[in-house]
Amino acid sequence: MGSSAQTVERQNLTDLLHTLTRVCNTLADCGIPFAVAGGFAAYARGGPATDHDVDVFLKPSDVGRASSALVAIGMRAAHPPEDWLTKVYDGDLLVDLIFRPNFRGVTDAMFERAAWMRIGPTSALVISGTDLLIDKLLVLDAHRLDLGPLLHIARDLREQVDWDEVRTATSASPYARAFLHLLDDLAITRGGIVDPMQSDEVLPQYLVAHIRRAFAEDPRTAELGVRVSVRGDVVYLSGEVSSADCKHQLEAIVLEQLPSVRFQNDVHIVDCREPTEAEELT
């Protein structure tokens, strides 16, 4: 992404955070229970930054009061045809006031599962990682199947999600079931495979990605520069490391991740120690 595009993206996030802060402060001052949802819920929980709009969950009985309070501070009300949300605009920025997300009611129990979190310059209740993923998966249909952003969120929030609850709540959706199966195969959920080599259908690129990720995430190595390739049924390691111990740790990690794999360690050891003698000038 070019520097100008990054500047626009950062400014858009700043503007959205300003709108979110106005919404949160106004609703809190009016004593209206709410929880931040959508992109900013993912952002607060460590996911990617949002560039779209501000989503807030409210109980149906509070929506009219919330809309009026936001109009009173200068926002503009809209009247969409949908029967599960209403909208207000802060200039050109959209705020969705959602009271029945994907035919699920917004309840006190949902607020109790939420957590008080920092979101940029403000703080507010943020829906749970489990409720967020349920909401995101139930949106999927034949016309909305862009899985890239959702995969990013699932990876970032995987430790905050009760995947069994997500499966139960989304079981009626074939799109959600297919996406959860993908998460299983990628070992993102607890249903993920432990040893990918137990399957005869594992593609080399997935095997390579699995090993590279293990090297990058393991504190014993964090070796991002080691190359991994597959030829036939053999995994080859190549590149350079700083010690024999590090080379052996690479082997140990491969065997821990893939006990049945055949591999060849062609990594070279490079002495990176500082010279102990002064260099003579000629």
Please report whether residue 102 resides in a domain. Answer: yes
What's the number of CA atoms in the CB half-sphere (13 Å) around residue 123?
A: 4
Our count of domains for the chain comes to 3
Element spanning 29, H or E? helix 3-29
Domain of 73, CATH number, reads 3.30.460.40
Rounded Cα gap, residues 229 and 99, in angstroms: 50
Looking at the structure, do residues 215 and 150 belong to the same domain, yes or no? no
Domain of 204, CATH number, reads 3.30.1340.30
Digit-coded pLDDT (tens) for 36-82: 999 999 999 999 888 789 999 999 999 999 999 999 999 999 989 99
Looking at the structure, do residues 103 and 209 belong to the same domain, yes or no? no
Q: Which domain holds residue 162?
A: 133-185
Rounded Cα gap, residues 81 and 58, in angstroms: 18
Q: What is the DSSP letter of 37?
A: E
Residue 213 in contact with residue 207, Cβ under 8 Å? no
pTM of the complete model: 0.68
Please report whether residue 277 resides in a domain. Answer: no
Please report whether residue 279 resides in a domain. Answer: no
Rounded Cα gap, residues 218 and 213, in angstroms: 8
Rounded Cα gap, residues 140 and 263, in angstroms: 40
Please report whether residue 168 resides in a domain. Answer: yes
Question: Radius of gyration (Cα) for the chain, nearest Å?
Answer: 25
Looking at the structure, do residues 114 and 9 belong to the same domain, yes or no? yes
Looking at the structure, do residues 39 and 109 belong to the same domain, yes or no? yes
* Structure token digits, residue 38: 């959508």
Residue 211 in contact with residue 257, Cβ under 8 Å? yes
Digit-coded pLDDT (tens) for 203-255: 666 677 778 777 777 777 765 578 888 887 788 898 888 888 888 888 888 88
